Structure 1
Amino acid sequence: MLDGARAVATGFVAFTVWGVVTGVAMVKSGLSIGAALAMSPIVYAGSAQLTSLPLIAAGAPLWLIFTAGVIVNLRFVIFGAALHPYFRNIHWPKRLLLGYLSVDVSFVAFMPRYVDASNKGTVEQHWFYVGAVGSTWIIWQITSVIGIALASFVPTSWSLDFAAILALLAILMPLVNNRPVYVSMLVTAVVAWLTQPLPLRLGLLIAVIAGILGGMWAESRLRRERAK
């Protein structure tokens, strides 16, 4: 469990910045203190929170807010499929809890360590993952509360959105390690830039879908090349 916590500790600085910025953003978007405090543990998805907040502030329909959050977090479907062999031997309520606690950095820390393990689903693997996801959950909740508390002292002119972007980059860059991911990232960036004028941030949804499709295409092409 301590090994799992240490494995994700390198991302705590970026995770802290992201949590504080998200806490400030929730209050600045018009949420009450109580709603912001509830959103942090209930949603527990920084990218979905930062995506939904401008839509909430703009009065977007509920279906669009929900769809935006789901699409932004579609990567966790892939994460869940990759993690399934390691946790299929435990009861589904525990798997559900671990799914709720899972974040990008815990997946990045876990998979390289155990991807080649001949025996999947060991007690060691389970506790390593618990240590990784448990520590990140605690850090996120603490930093979100700090951000909520500081929101009234932070001028809007500080443009903390940029700090959130830098924190996200620090967390996600370790994931960029092969050709399909490069393609997915490039397609997402280009489409997001081109679709900026669309209302209600629909361009973000289109960019995420395009990035997923681009990554899938690159992955299938890479497999065909290896087969040849």
Structure 2
Amino acid sequence: MVAERLRATARISSLGSVLWHALRLAMLCKVCAVVKNRFFSSFPGAQARRDFGKGLGDVLTALVAVSTWGFVTGIALVKSGLTESMATLMTLLVYAGSAQLTALPLMETLSPLLLIFVAGLLVNIRFLIFGAALQPFFRHLSWPRRLFLGFFSSDIAFVLFMGRYGDSKLKGSGEQLWYFLGLIVPCWFAWNLSSLLGIYLGGLVPASWSLEFAAILALMAIIIPLVQTRPMAMCLLVAGLIAWAGQPWPLRLGLAAAVAGGIFAGVLSERLQRKNRKSP
């Protein structure tokens, strides 16, 4: 009798798991359908596909770092006490690794919900600056499309996009839109797939593997070649120093301070550089 009940319970649990995965797949299909209707009402032409391919080609090497960080974050979600289902929802709905890692210790200590939201806002306040810089390129789009682009934006995509089009006089072209999509779409898939792998397979990874350090090295290999001007070098140097000094600060405020300090240093250095060029 007990054995039959255990078998029945196992079947119900298995059925529930199947239904849950089917629901997630249906949600993903719905999102893809909305994206298709919003952005791909007609199949993109050859030029659009080439521009998308340029973005994909530029971001390919960065996907190594993105995937590593996603995998590490997925492991951290489960180790913090979240169930696999809760961790899956969080990684799909909160596309921000720094916000996730900031929220986890606060959730573990049962901190107020408002404090968790404020902490997540502070560590991601840099995206306000990113959005303001990208606004001239996409302001001609409807607000749902801009909201879509904003949700899927990432640090790597912003750096690569501004590195190519930041000084462009023409803003708002189809080339720029499809190039940006070629950056953000692969990053989203790489992050979420690797994060899901971390959630469901992270327990198989030996604790001796220093994945966090590997992710840092991968990011450095991407960012350092992009530093080609004095303002960019000053921005990186000041942000790095502030981030290092601000490690003990609560709520990861050192990260927010590093972003603000790096931007200020870069802008100041650029203005001084222009002033020196104008002076006889």
Q: Please report the TM-score for the alignment, with normalisation by the length of structure 2.
A: 0.68
Shift of 1:78: 2.9
Task: Please state how far the C-alpha of 1:24 moved relative to its aligned partner.
Answer: 1.2
Return the structure number with greater relative CO, CA threshold 8 A, min gap 6. Answer: 1
- Match of 2:26? none
Any unmatched runs of 5+ in structure 1? none
Q: Are the equivalent residues in 2 in contact too, given 1:71–1:208 (CA < 8 A)?
A: no
CA distance in 2 between partners of 1:56 and 1:172 (Å): 32
The answer to which of 67-76 and 141-150 deviates more is: 67-76
How many residues of Structure 1 are paired with residues of Structure 2 in the alignment? 228
Instruction: Name the counterpart of 1:135.
Output: 186
Partner of 1:29: 80
Residue 183 in structure 1 maps to residue 234 in structure 2: yes
SS of corresponding position for 1:177: coil
Q: Which runs of 5 or more residues in structure 2 are unaligned?
A: 1-51
**1:115-157: CA deviations, max 9, x gaps?**
4555432223222222221122112111111111122223545
Q: Show the counterpart of 1:20.
A: 71
Residues 54 and 182 of structure 2 are in contact (CA less than 8 Å); yes or no, is this contact kept in structure 1?
Answer: yes
Select 1:222's aligned residue among 273, 277, 280: 273
- Give the aligned CA root-mean-square deviation in angstroms: 2.9
**Change over 3 Å in CA distance of 1:112–1:185 after alignment to 2:** closer
Q: How does 1:5-154 map to 2 (within 5 A)?
A: 5-115=56-166, 117=168, 119-154=170-205
CA contact (8 A) 2:102 2:251 kept: no
Counterpart of 2:217 in structure 1 is 166
Maintained 8 Å contact 1:71/1:209: no
Q: CA deviation at 1:163?
A: 2.8
When Rg is computed on C-alpha atoms for both structures, the one with the higher figure is: 2
Give how far 1:21 is off.
Answer: 1.3
Q: Which moved more, 1:35-44 or 1:65-74?
A: 65-74
Query: Matches of 2:263 and 2:77 in 1, distance apart?
Result: 28
8 Å contact 1:21–1:163 — kept in the other structure?
no
CA distance in 2, matches of 1:81, 1:10: 26
Q: 1:58 to 1:86 in 2, by over 3 A?
A: same
Q: Deviations over 1:56-102 (max 9, x none)?
A: 44555544443443333333333323322221211111011011111
Q: CA deviation at 1:192?
A: 3.4
SS in 1 for 2:60: helix
Question: Structure 1 pair 191/136, CA: closer, same or farther in 2 (3 Å)?
Answer: closer
User: How many angstroms apart in 2 are the aligned matches of 1:163 and 1:219?
Assistant: 32
